Structure 1
Amino acid sequence: MAIAKMQKVSLVTAPSNKEKLLYTLQTMQNIEVSDLSLKITGDDLTFNNNYQNQNDYQVLYERGREVLKFLSQYQSKVSLKEKITAKRPEMTMDQLHESVDDDAALALIEQVEALRQKRNDIQDQRQHVEDEQTAIAKWRALSVDPQSLTALDLFDVRLGTIPNDENRVHFNQLKANEHVAVEEIFADENEIGVAVVALPTYKDDLQAALSENYFSEVDFAYSQTPEASFQKLEQERKQLIEDEKQVVNQLKDLQGSKATIQLAVEEFFNRSQRANAAKLSYDNQQLSLFSGWVEETQVGELQSVLENTFDNQEIAVILEEITEEEIEADEVPIKLNNSGIVAPFEMITEMYSLPNYREKDPSNWVAIFYMLFFAMMMGDFGYGALLWLGTFIALKVMDLRKGAKRFVTFGHILSYPTMLVGLAYGSAFGVTLPFGIINPTEDALTLMIISLVIGYVHIFVGLCLNIRLQVARKEWANAYNDGIGWLSLMIALAIGIAGMMLGIPVLITIATWIAIIAAVGIVLVPVFTSDNKAVGGVVGLYNLYGVSSYVGDFVSYTRLMALGISGGAIGMSFNILFTILPTPVRFTAGIALIIVLQLFNMFLSLLSAYVHSMRLIFVEFFGKFYEGGGRAFKPIRTLQEFVSLKDVKEN
């Protein structure tokens, strides 16, 4: 399989049928709506007449998501088994649409939002009360009302704090003043709370003494003693706690309404996506025009569904030819169609970049080489078996979304070559099996040679794919400079190595002349094809200098050997550690320890194999032929997070 061949299509209907058409297209999930504003202009054409408030559904969707996220904090604990085996309810698009009561859902959302705001307000009030309690608590030893002290006519009384330094210098200086009486109320490591009393006639002297000792006056806003004020605040704090508990109980009682909000969120999202698609059309008073893309193989299905949904005169389907300009500008969306085994490996291609419409889908080759690389880097039958078991259970038990299911299937497929290579290496959880074709630790050199041979084949295939692409475009100079020349050098390398190993000098001579001719061609072809011969010569020499990058590419493949050996060696080390433990420990805590260590080593091996295999694909393989830059095919989306739509294929 390959890149799906696309068909450009235009749909014309009356504005009154616009919502119905979008609903049908969203259910089918096989057409991408294009933005006509980029291509058509006209004074008599307007955007989106019937969708003045298209953003309302997006806002409702976002509010619903926030409410669900908030409610999840108050749901009852669910066992791990229940979480894993939980299934989304199944519905059709029509059933979902009919089950959502907008007013009821909005009322629930507003109720939760009001309770959330109420709880936030209570928490803010309680924090304010607790801050006041913290400030008053230090003064609880003061047995009189602070306001009554500061209101005395015969004495000037000040309440405040002074710094508490190491030797209480400021306190002692203030206390030594003969015109001032000082009473310590509290002391901590930072400050001392004091009551300062003086006669009104010494007000200026008092102020000077207080300033010299960094006195900070405290203003009490309470008409009771600090202790009484503290207790009053405590009662207020307890009441706020009770109020918050009532709000929390109300939120817990609303857990039964989560399903209603979830369905509404699904519906609001679907409507918002239709509204976004509606903005891409052109409308006048008589007609609405949509343009889009559909797979050629699904044109018949599209026409059939529209004929069954609309009367003959209600809609027109116009098929258009794809222009070269649209292909060159990468306007044609890309949809990959591959077999069940290859399809999960499309995500590797997508991570790098989708192919453009002018080239071939490399996913088949990616699948073959990625499985081989991953298996060699894992290199253990036990880890492969655990990967198989874990992914098998996940696929059978869990309700996985399409993306998650594709990733788990990806891991499940990789488990098979991993087990095969593990058997070839004779390794299971770092234990050497009584059989095996090659022992990585003892035959490291042999394994390195195998890795380099695999790398040779990998690069060879990449160059062949580049030649095919350039020849198809009739770009003969690029076909030689980027493909044939380097392929000839690689063939010469293989012949030369074979000649040395077999002791046949003529093969070495043949390899030498092939290499010389290929190198000369790499230098001269740019000279002949360039208007400026000098510049062409420089380009040719620079191209030939690229041989150094090929040396680096070959070295990169030694990681197939290195990571395979390291994973097995670490697993073996953990096993040795287990055997030297005292017997009582070995068969108690030691069992748990070895399981944890082996799982940890498996995780490291999985991560290394996943990343480094991808690196070999992206750099050493795609770098030889792949352009990418394609734009993904995007039909009108559905959410399907809380419900599985039976009549809608997930994308």
Structure 2
Amino acid sequence: MAIVDMTEFRLTLFAKDRDRLLERIQDFDQVHIRPLDKQTEEEWAGRIRSADTGKSVTAVNEAMGRAQEALDILSAYEVKEKGFKEKLSNRLPSLSMEESKTLVEGEGALTAIEETLRLQEAIRHSHERMDQLREERKQLDRWKALDLPLGDLKKPKRVQVTLGTLPSRWMDEARKFLASHAQRTYMEFLSADDKTAYVMVISDGSDADLDSFFRDINFTPVHFEGEETVQAMIQEREAGLAEEKKNIAQVEVELKKLAREKKTAIQAYYELQSYKEDRLEAEGKTLETEKITFLEGFVPTDRAKEFENLVTDELPDGRFELETREADRDDPDVPILLHNNGLVAPFENLVETYSMPLYKEMDPTGLLAPWYMLFFGLMMGDAGYGALMLLATSFALHYFDFKPSTARSIRFFQILSVPTILAGLAFGSIFGGLIPMDPLIINPQVEIMPMIIFSVILGIACIFIALGLGAVQSVREGDPAGAIWDYISWYFLIGGLIVGGLSKAFQWNSMVSSVAFILAIIGALLIIFLSARDEKSAGARIAWGAYNLYGATGYIGDFASFTRVTALMLSGAYIGFSFNLIGRMIMGIVGSDASVWEALGQGQVNIFMFIIAMVLLVFLHLFNLFLSALSAYVHSMRLIYVEYFGKFYQGGGKRFKKLRPEGKYLDIK
């Protein structure tokens, strides 16, 4: 378990060689480029400047956006059905860089993207046209009772035929008005809905009050283009809909063909553009003159010689200057790359989630892994749940093909299943007591107080080890005195108070309590006078030291916080026990002392009710497994981050960023 040693390099080369070298560095995959100091740019008074990659980045982003849009479209037209194993596996197909470039050029990826977008636009246009035709047909349906050609309505010379609409609430009023005041006007109601009536009005124009009445009732004339019947117009819309559906079907056939033949090429194009985006990002971190480029970064020390050979091979004429040196331990800009064995590596996610360590710090991964396993196992505390986790994760890792990041997460829970099983055996808990077992060590549901005391003792041990790690780190940084003033003093104070208190409570030898309290006083004095030694005045040092001493009260909360180990273990156990009680109620053996299996063997349980109860218990215990695992995951992380890391770990380091992006569709080698 370690932070990988880094070598810092500074490279000066001709600008015309920059792009080619960055491609080779990207293939090398073990280089972190850092932004050059802006102060250098100012010192050169404008003769040196940051590389301008804005337009190129915009062009690449647009290209990636179009490729992504095309891939999203084609994904809906894939014909190949994935099997169960393929659906759950997420390892990306692998291609070499040369294969990717050949595929993009040979299959015409750019043309395929444009064709895909054009075809999708055609489908969109057809759908819009269909929506328009449906709306027109809907409007025409209201007039289909009019069975004569619309052109015939214009032929009469002595009367005027008008089609129109009016609010349905005025229909009765309109009938009464026409019957009493408009003897020379006829209105036929063709159809109506909740709000509107559709009518045909025939009038010779002699009824004087007709126009004003129609205005009062909001009569609106309707005009149609065309001379044929309404039914013929409806049939035209139907024919138009059929034609557009046919067009869509033809376009979808072409899209399915593109999805089958060109999708991989488009994916390769997307990945190559992603590579180019990363190169441009690195290029933007350089400084340049008209002809010279300045580049700085870091490479793992064990690969430094290989990196030097790469630069020399790529620029064989020697037209470059490369300086390398061991990275400064106190430089906060040194990127962090963690290297751990297979057992510890899955816990690197916890470190990365919190904060990467500084280059001068210890790798905390191996320091947190045992504690996290212990906390998680105790909080779960059920051998049955642990066995299910072990079987599920082992099966998944063996049967399915995952990306490295996914496999590492599954391996994380596979490791955690082991302490869960051990804790469950110690507590005598298998699926909340569904399978009877005597505890090997303690039954927490009965001996609650001893379990709480154990949790607090566990917390004291965890915090004391964290303080010891803080002292070690202080010595590593060349400050052994700080290890005493900032960490050993707290050992004296907290340890002395704990031992002294226990000595008084259990009436140990008076010498023990006296020595313990003397150590506590020494620790308090060290904290008061030396914990704030960086302050300039003696008064400020003492004042801040007293404030730091007041922080000792926080340790009470820290120790009490570890009681959550017992609380979460008991909550999961009682929920599991309640589920088992529900199952016994269904089987009708609530009042019996016999286990489910004994009752079944003695014939006390109806086999049909037994099957129903067991099916229900499977789902209930899986639900409890999920809740318990989620709670244990979060609260174990909280104990690590707050109580454990808070005593020795600073963090704030920068992650080592390779010049090679993680693939989204293909793994480019």
Question: Aligned-pair distance for 1:367?
Answer: 0.9
Report if the CA contact (8 A) 2:271-2:668 is conserved.
no
Question: Aligned-pair distance for 1:504?
Answer: 0.9
Question: Aligned-pair distance for 1:155?
Answer: 5.3
Question: Aligned-pair distance for 1:484?
Answer: 4.0
Stretch moving more, 217-226 or 631-640: 217-226
Match of 2:3 in 1: 3
Question: Aligned-pair distance for 1:294?
Answer: 1.1
Match of 2:601 in 1: none
Report if the CA contact (8 A) 1:270-1:639 is conserved.
no
SS where residue 488 of structure 1 aligns? helix
User: How do 1:124-273 residues align onto structure 2 when only pairs under 5 Å count?
Assistant: 124-144=128-148, 159-164=163-168, 168=169, 170-177=170-177, 178-179=180-181, 182-195=187-200, 200-202=205-207, 205-215=209-219, 218-221=222-225, 223-257=227-261, 258-273=263-278
Alpha-carbon distance in 1 for matches of 2:97, 2:70: 23
User: How do 1:72-151 residues align onto structure 2 when only pairs under 5 Å count?
Assistant: 72-76=75-79, 77-84=81-88, 88-101=92-105, 104-144=108-148
TM-score (norm 2): 0.85
| CA pair 231-587 structure 1, distance change in 2 beyond 3 A | farther
Alpha-carbon distance in 1 for matches of 2:645, 2:457: 18
Task: State whether structure 2 residue 64 is matched by structure 1 residue 64.
Answer: no
Alpha-carbon distance in 2 for matches of 1:208, 1:547: 92
Alpha-carbon distance in 2 for matches of 1:190, 1:584: 63
1:353 to 345, 352, 355: 355
| CA pair 386-294 structure 1, distance change in 2 beyond 3 A | same
| CA pair 515-213 structure 1, distance change in 2 beyond 3 A | farther
User: How do 1:302-451 residues align onto structure 2 when only pairs under 5 Å count?
Assistant: 302-311=307-316, 313-320=318-325, 322=327, 327=330, 330-430=332-432, 431=434, 432-451=436-455
| CA pair 427-210 structure 1, distance change in 2 beyond 3 A | farther
Alpha-carbon distance in 2 for matches of 1:173, 1:534: 98
Match of 2:631 in 1: 608
Task: State whether structure 2 residue 611 is matched by structure 1 residue 599.
Answer: no
What amino acid does structure 2 have at the position aligned with 1:637? R
Match of 1:636 in 2: 659
2:295 to 279, 286, 290: 290
Alpha-carbon distance in 2 for matches of 1:126, 1:602: 51
| CA pair 447-312 structure 1, distance change in 2 beyond 3 A | farther
Question: Aligned-pair distance for 1:354?
Answer: 1.1
Alpha-carbon distance in 1 for matches of 2:134, 2:266: 36
Question: Aligned-pair distance for 1:32?
Answer: 1.1
Stretches of structure 2 that go unaligned for 5 or more consecutive residues are 588-605
1:626 to 623, 646, 649: 649
SS where residue 7 of structure 2 aligns? strand
Report if the CA contact (8 A) 1:100-1:267 is conserved.
no
Alpha-carbon distance in 1 for matches of 2:167, 2:486: 78
Superposed CA deviations along residues 116-164 of structure 1, whole A, max 9, x for unmatched, are 1111111111122222223333333333566865897755665444445
Report if the CA contact (8 A) 1:578-1:586 is conserved.
no
Alpha-carbon distance in 2 for matches of 1:129, 1:199: 35
Question: Aligned-pair distance for 1:297?
Answer: 2.3
Report if the CA contact (8 A) 2:384-2:421 is conserved.
yes
Task: State whether structure 2 residue 20 is matched by structure 1 residue 20.
Answer: yes
| CA pair 195-471 structure 1, distance change in 2 beyond 3 A | farther
Question: Aligned-pair distance for 1:634?
Answer: 0.7
User: How do 1:505-544 residues align onto structure 2 when only pairs under 5 Å count?
Assistant: 506=510, 507-525=512-530, 530-531=535-536, 539-544=544-549
| CA pair 613-217 structure 1, distance change in 2 beyond 3 A | farther
Alpha-carbon distance in 1 for matches of 2:556, 2:204: 95
Report if the CA contact (8 A) 1:10-1:320 is conserved.
no
Give the count of matched residue pairs.
638
Question: Aligned-pair distance for 1:388?
Answer: 1.8
Question: Aligned-pair distance for 1:266?
Answer: 2.3
Alpha-carbon distance in 2 for matches of 1:150, 1:546: 97
| CA pair 476-155 structure 1, distance change in 2 beyond 3 A | farther
Alpha-carbon distance in 2 for matches of 1:145, 1:253: 46
Report if the CA contact (8 A) 1:13-1:288 is conserved.
yes
Match of 1:649 in 2: none
Stretches of structure 1 that go unaligned for 5 or more consecutive residues are 647-651
What amino acid does structure 2 have at the position aligned with 1:73? A
Question: Aligned-pair distance for 1:332?
Answer: 1.8
Question: Aligned-pair distance for 1:334?
Answer: 1.7
Alpha-carbon distance in 2 for matches of 1:189, 1:385: 65
SS where residue 142 of structure 1 aligns? coil
Report if the CA contact (8 A) 2:4-2:336 is conserved.
yes
SS where residue 659 of structure 2 aligns? coil
What amino acid does structure 2 have at the position aligned with 1:372? L
Superposed CA deviations along residues 280-320 of structure 1, whole A, max 9, x for unmatched, are 33445654332111122221221234445552625543114
Superposed CA deviations along residues 196-224 of structure 1, whole A, max 9, x for unmatched, are 55553557x44543454455554545544
Superposed CA deviations along residues 384-407 of structure 1, whole A, max 9, x for unmatched, are 222222222332333322322221
SS where residue 40 of structure 2 aligns? coil
Alpha-carbon distance in 2 for matches of 1:259, 1:521: 68
User: How do 1:574-589 residues align onto structure 2 when only pairs under 5 Å count?
Assistant: 574-581=579-586, 583=606, 585-589=608-612
What amino acid does structure 1 have at the position aligned with 2:4? A
Question: Aligned-pair distance for 1:493?
Answer: 3.7
Alpha-carbon distance in 1 for matches of 2:557, 2:578: 32
Report if the CA contact (8 A) 2:7-2:327 is conserved.
yes
What amino acid does structure 2 have at the position aligned with 1:242? K
| CA pair 445-274 structure 1, distance change in 2 beyond 3 A | same
Stretch moving more, 190-199 or 416-425: 190-199
Match of 2:283 in 1: 278
Question: Aligned-pair distance for 1:608?
Answer: 1.0
SS where residue 40 of structure 1 aligns? helix
Let me know the Cα RMSD of the aligned residues: 3.3
Report if the CA contact (8 A) 2:385-2:430 is conserved.
yes
Report if the CA contact (8 A) 1:349-1:362 is conserved.
yes
Stretch moving more, 531-540 or 497-506: 531-540
Match of 2:38 in 1: 38
Alpha-carbon distance in 2 for matches of 1:474, 1:151: 108
Question: Aligned-pair distance for 1:450?
Answer: 1.5
Question: Aligned-pair distance for 1:632?
Answer: 1.0
Alpha-carbon distance in 2 for matches of 1:209, 1:478: 99
SS where residue 288 of structure 1 aligns? strand
What amino acid does structure 2 have at the position aligned with 1:75? E
Alpha-carbon distance in 2 for matches of 1:3, 1:87: 28
SS where residue 141 of structure 1 aligns? coil
Alpha-carbon distance in 2 for matches of 1:550, 1:162: 81
SS where residue 399 of structure 1 aligns? coil
